[in-house]
Amino acid sequence: MYHYVQPGRSAPPHFRYLPLDSFRRQLDHFQSNGHIASQAELEHALATGRPEPGAVVLTFDDGLRDHHDYVLPELRARGLWALFYVATLPHTDGHVLDVHKVHLALGRRGGRRVLEELENVIRPEMLEPGYVAQLSGAIYRGHVEDEATALVKRWLNYYLKLQHRSFACEEVFRRSGGDAARDVEQHYASGPQLRAMRAAGLGIGAHSISHPLLSQLSDAEQEREVLGSIHALGELLGEPVTSFCFPYGGEHSFNAHTLALLQRAGIRCCFSLEPRDISAADLQDRPLALPRYDCNQFPHGTSRVGPERG
Ligand SMILES: [Zn+2]
């Protein structure tokens, strides 16, 4: 699983991504130690329930502009296939997703500055009971950059009540110079760019509307996020969508209702996040919750922070 992949020449000062040259080295590694699966090979494995030894399926989440600008040319040059997962809200409503508002704010200002901003934004009544005591200035100060970044994510993902998270994400985004119209254009692959990727033979699947933790939603909200994104992406691409991937991933990111919705929508394969190889049992019994590794778990997977120098 990949997210940001770019040369990094114009990356914001604290922005974290996999450098394009490292991505190329990972492709070299996969191609010399096995091979990268084609669409036909993945479909064959799903149909027969037998994984192909040494085959790797490449997946890219969040419909990022990086995927069109840097990943597509690299895959094309090597004749490789991959799956891309798109959350539809930026396309239908021109909104930056909450998860990316935070990435962009952290990238532009750094974890410590964003923590300080959160201190100004969060009120005790906005927090889950049990975390209110932690709302004191002391928690925000004296952290090294990476700790502060992890803490920002913890505040936004766990400590804040669900109904206040979008407000807090928007505040830190806006205070870091975020601009929805400009950032949607710069951050995401556009509709025509996604269609160009599809025309190049690559696979495109749905990834919800707004990138929530699906397991935290009511059944009706899940239905809207899952079926709504499959429908909206189908409209955008002009063809039915047959693959999906859970925002955040992992066992806690979906539930039985999510799986029932995916089945109802005719989804044939779906990826989660669980660092192990796909087994025959996965293909036969749980094709809607296939395991995946994060790209940093392979050689050359070290991310870079900030612009490339020199
Ligand atoms: Zn995602």
pLDDT, residue 134, reads: 65
pTM of the entire predicted model: 0.95
- CA 211 to ligand 1 center in whole angstroms: 6
CA of 55 to the centre of ligand 1 (A): 23
Give the whole-angstrom CA distance, residue 196 versus residue 174. 32
Question: 189-237: per-residue pLDDT in tens?
Answer: 999 999 999 999 999 999 999 999 999 999 999 999 999 999 999 999 9
With a cut of 80, say whether residue 107 has pLDDT above it. Answer: yes
Q: How far is the CA of 169 from the centre of ligand 1 (A)?
A: 16
Residue percentage of the chain with pLDDT more than 70: 96
- Average pLDDT score over residue span 116-136: 80
Average pLDDT, rounded, for the chain: 93
Q: What is the pLDDT of residue 151?
A: 85
What's the rounded Cα separation, in Å, for the pair 50 and 48? Answer: 5
Q: What is the pLDDT of residue 120?
A: 86
Over residues 242-260, mean pLDDT: 95
- CATH code of the region 5-95+188-305: 3.20.20.370
- If you measure from the C-alpha of residue 125 to the centroid of ligand 1, how many angstroms do you get, rounded to a whole number? 29
- Is residue 272 within 8 A of residue 251, CB to CB? The reply is yes
| Mean pLDDT computed over 96-125 | 92
- Is the pLDDT confidence value at 131 over 80? no
pLDDT digits (tens, 9 = 90+) for 137-178: 545 555 677 888 888 888 888 889 989 999 999 999 999 999
Q: What is the whole-number distance in angstroms between the Cα of residue 23 and the centre of ligand 1?
A: 19
The residue ranges of every structural domain in the chain are 5-95+188-305, 98-177
How far is ligand 1, taken at its centre, from the CA of residue 70, in Å? 18
136 CA to centre of ligand 1 in angstroms = 31
DSSP three-state, residue 104 = helix
Distance between CA atoms of residues 161 and 309, nearest Å: 40
Residues with CB under 5 A from ligand 1 (ion): 61-62, 247
